[in-house]
């Protein structure tokens, strides 16, 4: 349960940092952010909202436009959630963090979704960490593949190949992003011009730049 809240909490803080939202809209945005395979229910969203409110990071207020003017309607006011000053400070701490949890499978997509609000050095550390993790995974898959392929049936073999291709595609995608971030950092360090994509000679991996959109297998 803790692992799920570790993903939900920064996602909620990030979305509420963009704008206050009521629970239904927040759930829709979270499902878009987290993807269909991690779609969440109200049963997991509201305990997380309650926990964030208990820590003083968010507050729920009645929406002034959601209640009909006549008192006999019986309709409850719609709660709109928004960040407190403490919540905004906590989200900035999330954006500044770049430890191993930020590049694990469960958290990387959420961190990447808020890269537009993250400084270039932190973005680069997360991308390099993610690439390192995937490189380790590729090595493990290759070793397993070499040891066991003769004992696999054709479907297990195809599944192994699929996992290998997925990891290789993401590494190529990360290579392009890392090259770009290094270019942005170099231009800003030199103090002139707009951010530019790095020249392939400047630390590029030699892998062709990927498509603009993230490739998923």
pLDDT at 198 over 70: no
Distance CA 194, CA 102 (A): 28
Give the pLDDT of residue 167: 92
Across residues 42-64, what is the average pLDDT? Answer: 90
Classify residue 210 by burial, with Cβ atoms within 10 Å: 0-12, 13-18, 19+: middle
* Beta-bridge mates of residue 82: 59
Q: What is the pLDDT of residue 149?
A: 79
| Whether the predicted pLDDT of 1 surpasses 50 | no
pLDDT cut 90: percent of the chain above it: 53
Cα→Cα distances 170→57, 167, 181, 189, 194, Å: 34, 5, 16, 28, 27
Where are the domains positioned within the chain? 2-97, 119-217
Q: Rounded mean pLDDT of the chain?
A: 81
Judged against a pLDDT cut of 80, whether residue 189 lies above it is answered with: no
Rounded CA-CA distance 139/173 in Å is: 18
Q: Residue holding tokens 């997925």?
A: 166
Confidence at 38, pLDDT banded by 50, 70, 90 = low
Fold exhibited by the domain 2-97: Arc Repressor Mutant, subunit A (1.10.10)
Per-residue pLDDT at 109: 92
Over residues 34-54, the mean pLDDT reads: 79
CA-to-CA separations, 121 to 78, 124, 182, 193, 211, in angstroms, rounded: 40, 5, 9, 18, 23
The reported pLDDT for the residue numbered 76 is 62
Kindly report, residue by residue over 47-57, the tens digit of the pLDDT. Answer: 999 999 999 99
For position 44, what pLDDT does the model report? Answer: 83
Give the C-alpha separation, 72 to 191, whole Å. Answer: 64
Query: 3-state DSSP call for residue 134?
Result: helix
* pLDDT per position as a tens digit, 3-25: 567 889 999 999 999 999 999 99
- Out of 48-57, 102-111, 141-150, 174-183, least confident range: 141-150
Question: Is a pLDDT exceeding 70 seen at residue 67?
Answer: no
Is 190 a residue whose pLDDT tops 80?
Answer: no
Residues with Cβ within 8 Å of residue 113, at least 6 apart in sequence: 11, 14, 33
């Amino acid at each position: 349960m803790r692992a799920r809240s570790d993903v939900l909490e920064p996602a909620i803080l990030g979305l509420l940092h963009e704008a206050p939202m009521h629970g239904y809209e927040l759930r829709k945005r979270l499902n878009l952010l987290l993807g269909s395979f991690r779609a969440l229910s109200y049963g997991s969203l509201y305990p997380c909202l309650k926990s964030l409110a208990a820590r003083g990071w968010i507050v729920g207020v009645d929406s002034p436009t959601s209640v009909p003017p006549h008192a006999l309607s019986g309709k409850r006011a719609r709660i709109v959630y928004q960040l407190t000053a403490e919540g905004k400070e906590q989200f900035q701490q999330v954006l500044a963090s770049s430890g191993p949890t930020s590049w694990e499978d469960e958290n990387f997509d959420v961190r990447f979704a808020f890269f537009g609000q993250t400084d270039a050095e932190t973005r680069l550390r997360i991308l390099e960490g993610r690439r390192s993790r995937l490189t380790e995974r590729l090595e493990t898959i290759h070793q397993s593949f070499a040891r066991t392929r003769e004992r696999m049936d054709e479907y297990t073999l195809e599944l192994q190949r699929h996992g290998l291709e997925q990891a290789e595609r993401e590494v190529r995608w990360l290579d392009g992003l890392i090259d770009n971030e290094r270019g942005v950092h170099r231009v800003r360090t030199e103090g002139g011009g707009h951010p530019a994509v790095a020249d392939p000679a400047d630390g590029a991996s030699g892998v062709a730049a990927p498509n603009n959109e993230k490739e998923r297998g």
